Structure 1
Amino acid sequence: MKIVIAGGTGFVGQHLVDYFSSKDDEIMILTRNPHKYQSDQNIHYIEWLTPEGQPELEIGSADVFINLAGESLNSGRWTEERKKRIIESRMTTTREMIRIMGSMQHPPHTFINASAVGFYGTSKTDMFTEETKQPGNDFLADVCDMWEKEADEARTLGIRTVKTRFGIILDGHDGALPKMALPYQLFAGGPLGDGEQWMSWIHIYDIVKGYDWIMEHSAIEGPVNFTAPNPKRNKEFGKVLGKTLSRPHWIPAPSFAIRTALGDMSTLLLDGQYVYPSVLIDSGYTFQFPTLREALDDIYKSE
């Protein structure tokens, strides 16, 4: 299989590249700086989003396009300028991928575009599935809604379009978990705010296997929640994390201090949503790590 990935050098992208290249699939990674990387037999770096880049000519044909590209949400306060970059980075890369696919004589049969559970907005009482059509009314929901609508333009090309709504991705070396674990490792872990906010999480291995599953099951399209089937409230998540690390769960971080320090970005820590992966489960996917304890045990046993 020939797979084109935007964002292939990022956190999730690196895991997908490692997995699919190990299966002898051909991977083409779109990047502004291809000369920074060394191509090999299965992995090729293609210049795009530059005046010199002509990715459609280098790609030729492909089976699947995957878009993971976009400015990080958790690397600084959400100033108005930062919010603008977060939105524009996602719109630009998605439009360019659709342009490339539309210019191909034999376009891919599948387009998988990243999104996030932020689409649903936040709630301490509601459960959200892919049947929830109305987005929330905050900044993250607006970003996800705009991003997904842009991705849906691929459907006009006759391409199966899947929008993977990521929850909190758990990995021992990258993403949110190392930052969450640090206070516990320093014997200072505890609930964030009142601890009642839901945390819909997923092990990085289930991200990779879930993408493989989607690519092999052509009936799946539209939004797909990439969350484990057992979300936890923040206070329960912290207790499991503390127990896994053999550390106490006791010092709460007050909401006002987090909101003062982070501004709007504090919603990533203090607000959440209970998201259930109905599409994956109904299609027969079996989670390798369905419970938080199993996921954390796996991550920290390999540390």
Structure 2
Amino acid sequence: MKAAIAGGTGFVGKALINELLKNGHQVVILTRNPENKKNTENIRYVKWLSAGSHPEKELEDVHAFINLAGESINSGRWTDQRKQQIIDSRISSTREIIRIMEELPHKPDVLINASAIGCYPVSEEETFTEASPTANDGFLAETVHIWEKEAQQAERLGIRTAMSRFGVILGKEEGALPRMALPYKLFAGGKIGSGRQWMSWIHIADVAGALRFIMEHPEINGPVNLTAPSPERLHTLGKALGDVLHRPHWLTVPSIAVKAALGEMSTIILEGQRVLPEKLTAHSFVFKFPHIKEALADIYT
């Protein structure tokens, strides 16, 4: 199969490209600046979201579109301006993909659009699956609702549409884990807030594998939770991280300090949900790293 990827130079995009190439697929990377990129037999760069670009003319043989584009929610405080940038970046990329697919005489088989588990309500006791109701308030839930609504426009074109709701993605160099690990490396790791908040995490290798799995399995559509089958409370995950790094888990960072440092963005750390990947497990997807200790050991060894 040939897959067109928006956001292919990001954390998830790079892992996904490697996964697809290893498994015999071809990749087209949508980019604003293809001039300095070198095309190969299995990777091609196509200009988009730039003046004068007409990517639809070069995408007629694509079987799958995978949209990972969008401003990071983790970089900087959530000012009103920053929030608008986060939402606008997701809307613009998704609308452009829908426009491209509308123009194609032969429609792709599937659109896989990135999303997030932030759409589920915050809870220390409940468990959420793809069948669970989503939250009605909060910036993350609002962003997910808007984003998924845009992606669902592909369904009116007869295109299978899946929304990959990412949990906290763990990798060594990018994502949330380097910042989580830094206090431990400085012998200052420990409980954040109550420590009882859930973290529904997933190893970057399983993210890439799950996206390929969704692409290859035409029976999967709608929301798909990309989380490991064993979420952990943050206190337990922190202890596991300390063990793997051979560092103590002993300090406590009060919630008020986190809120003062991060503002509204602190909800990512101080609030959480226990989210299970019911749809992936129902379709027999095999996780390489279903448990936190083995996931962290793989990353740091």
Q: Percent of aligned positions with the same letter in both sequences? A: 52
Aligned pair count reads 301
- CA displacement, residues 160-215 of structure 1 (integer Å, 9 cap, x when unaligned): 00000000101111111111011001110001111111000001111111112112
* 1:277 alignment partner in structure 2: 277
Contact 2:19 2:212 in 1 (8 A): no
Q: 2:177 corresponds to which letter in structure 1?
A: L
SS in 2 for 1:239: helix
C-alpha deviation, 1:64, in angstroms: 0.3
SS in 2 for 1:14: helix
Q: 2:275 corresponds to which letter in structure 1?
A: V
Alpha-carbon distance in 2 for matches of 1:92, 1:203: 28
Q: 1:48 corresponds to which letter in structure 2?
A: W
* 2:90 alignment partner in structure 1: 90
Q: How does 1:130-145 map to 2 (within 5 A)?
A: 130-145=130-145
Q: How does 1:1-303 map to 2 (within 5 A)?
A: 1-301=1-301
> Given the two structures, how large is their TM-score scaled by the length of structure 2?
0.98
Alpha-carbon distance in 2 for matches of 1:26, 1:131: 33
More moved, 25-34 vs 103-112: 25-34
Alpha-carbon distance in 2 for matches of 1:37, 1:75: 26
Q: 2:186 corresponds to which letter in structure 1?
A: L
C-alpha deviation, 1:136, in angstroms: 4.1
- CA displacement, residues 209-233 of structure 1 (integer Å, 9 cap, x when unaligned): 1112112211110000000011111
Alpha-carbon distance in 2 for matches of 1:300, 1:85: 34
Contact 1:121 1:138 in 2 (8 A): no
C-alpha deviation, 1:58, in angstroms: 1.5
Q: 1:212 corresponds to which letter in structure 2?
A: R
Structure 1 portions without partners, runs of 5+: none
Alpha-carbon distance in 2 for matches of 1:190, 1:39: 46
More moved, 289-298 vs 131-140: 131-140
SS in 2 for 1:223: strand
Alpha-carbon distance in 2 for matches of 1:216, 1:43: 19
Alpha-carbon distance in 1 for matches of 2:28, 2:96: 15
C-alpha deviation, 1:285, in angstroms: 1.1
SS in 2 for 1:9: coil
> Given the two structures, how large is their TM-score scaled by the length of structure 1?
0.97
C-alpha deviation, 1:297, in angstroms: 1.1
Q: 2:221 corresponds to which letter in structure 1?
A: E
Alpha-carbon distance in 1 for matches of 2:269, 2:20: 32
